[in-house]
Amino acid sequence: MDSKTIIAETDKYYLPVFSRYKVAFTHGKGCYLYDAEGKAYLDFLGGIAVNALGYAHPVLVKALSEQAAKLTHCSNIFYTDIQAKAVKLVSEVTGFDRVFFANSGAEANEGAMKLARKFGVSQDPCKYKIISAEESFHGRTFDTLAATGHEHYRVGYGPLPAGHEFVNYGDLKELEETMDDEVCAVLLEPIQGEGGVHPATKEYLQGVRALCDKYHALLIYDEVQCGVCRSGKWFAYMLYGVKPDVMTFAKGIGGGFPVGGFCVDEKYAHVFAPGDHGSTFGGNAIACAAVFATLSTLKSENMADKVVAKGRYFKAQLQKLAAKYPDKVKEVRGEGLLLGMDLKKKGGQVVTACLDKGLIVNCTADTVIRLVPPLIVTEKEIDEAVAILDQALAKF
């Protein structure tokens, strides 16, 4: 199929919920995607922080094909060898005792909030409130929308589940005024992704932690985007040294295979009794093969440390661009390979200019060019991306 046919057929049958660029990909290799006519695109979006190992990584390809030939799916009322391997490795790299597998980021957050509700109302029927941040993003299901601090995603879907409140991200005083004994959880991204790449400060997270302890509320981190070595640590909480009670993950953990989940310490391992929560596909054999292959590769390659070095290099290059175009670029923010270039006006034009020149980036929160390349990206590829961004900014 040529690009024109792919686009026409998709647009004819797919619900029009995405505003798509008119580019149709058929395959990828490393940090490059190829369209149906063979044109190469350097991918600095990585499926939105998903393709940690890029495309067609030999370890992931082998693990998935071998698992597909052995066992694809088996109910969670039984055990599988690959789930035993994956769950142990996730526990090790997250630093949590217990893990639950779901299939997406939203489902991971749903599960984490259900656990928090159960934890709260089992002490006091009024302890049900979940506080999250303005400009946060937690998913598209009803309850994750109810926790998402951005009107744009929520409008038209009411009534949303009750029991949610919002505070401004980074404002400890406001949280202090909002907290009370009815709060069962505070849900935060340690680095806001969709909201425009806003890292928290250590002092803020320390303060949030202390308030959660004071009111016996669970601190939940949504590490769906900033986790899995993206920040330069296995998980962003390690960057700040402030550990949550519950942490959710998804995006990068399956290297492109849909996997999500959450983890808790032993202390909260029995909030759910058998039958209280579950998933047909969660922790599926192929998903676990993807998780095991992705995480063991990141581990054996010391990827977190490499991301620190690559991120530092990339950020320095972006800061040079910011200095070159002071009337166009407001600020460069982020940690590791979760970087954002905040522009002084809407950035859609930069995205399309880059795309024309074979570089994939996206724009979030209207003005922020988000840069989340595969973690395997090289300095040479970073230079190539920066050169294209330079040209795009020159015309902007």
Ligand X SMILES: *Cc1c(COP(=O)(O)O)cnc(C)c1O
Among positions 334-373, residues that touch ligand X (CB under 6 A) are none
Part of the chain binding ligand X (CB under 6 A), chosen from 37-45, 104-112, 238-246, 323-331? 104-112
Among positions 68-97, residues that touch ligand X (CB under 6 A) are none
By CB under 6 A, the count of residues binding ligand X is 16
x/- mask, ligand X, residues 210-249, rule CB under 6 A, reads ------------x-xx------------------------
- 251 noted as active-site residue: yes
Q: Are 372 and 194 in contact (CB under 8 A)?
A: no
The beta-strand segments (E) located in 189-284 are: 191-192, 198-199, 218-222, 246-249, 260-264
Distance CA 127, CA 181 (A): 7
Part of the chain binding ligand X (CB under 6 A), chosen from 5-13, 88-96, 101-109, 238-246? 101-109
Choose among 114, 113, 112, 121: nearest CA to 263: 112
Question: In the block, which residue shows the tokens 């009750």?
Answer: 162
Choose among 336, 305, 306, 329: nearest CA to 389: 329
Q: How many CB atoms lie within 10 A of CB 216?
A: 14
Distance CA 271, CA 265 (A): 11
Kindly name the residue from 137, 235, 272, 314 that is annotated as catalytic: 137
Distance CA 65, CA 193 (A): 32
Is the Cβ of residue 256 or residue 386 nearer to ligand X in the bound state?
Answer: 256
- Give me 134's structure tokens: 């303005």
101 in contact with ligand X (CB under 6 A):
no
Is the Cβ of residue 198 or residue 251 nearer to ligand X in the bound state?
Answer: 251
Question: Could you say which of 31, 82, 99, 106 contacts ligand X (CB under 6 A)?
Answer: 106
Question: Could you say which of 28, 47, 54, 105 contacts ligand X (CB under 6 A)?
Answer: 105
314 in contact with ligand X (CB under 6 A):
no
55 in contact with ligand X (CB under 6 A):
no
- Give me 18's structure tokens: 């995405």
The total number of residues written for the chain in this structure: 396
Question: Could you say which of 194, 245, 342, 381 contacts ligand X (CB under 6 A)?
Answer: 194
Distance CA 394, CA 82 (A): 50
Kindly name the residue from 129, 251, 310, 315 that is annotated as catalytic: 251
Tell me how far CA of residue 242 lies from CA of 174, 208, 237, in angstroms. Answer: 20, 9, 6
Question: Could you say which of 43, 189, 245, 384 contacts ligand X (CB under 6 A)?
Answer: 189
193 in contact with ligand X (CB under 6 A):
yes
Numbers of helices and strands, H then E, in the chain? 14, 17
Part of the chain binding ligand X (CB under 6 A), chosen from 28-36, 76-84, 186-194, 324-332? 186-194
254 in contact with ligand X (CB under 6 A):
no
To ligand X, the closest distance from the beta carbon of 228 in angstroms equals 12
- 143 noted as active-site residue: no
- Give me 214's structure tokens: 């004071």
- 222 noted as active-site residue: yes
x/- mask, ligand X, residues 126-155, rule CB under 6 A, reads -----------xxx----------------
Distance CA 42, CA 339 (A): 16
256 in contact with ligand X (CB under 6 A):
no
Neighbouring residues of 196: CB distance < 8 A, sequence distance ≥ 6: 135, 340, 342, 364, 365, 367, 368
Catalytic residues: 137, 222, 251
Residues that bind ligand X (CB under 6 A): 104-106, 109, 137-139, 189, 193-194, 222, 224-225, 250-251, 260
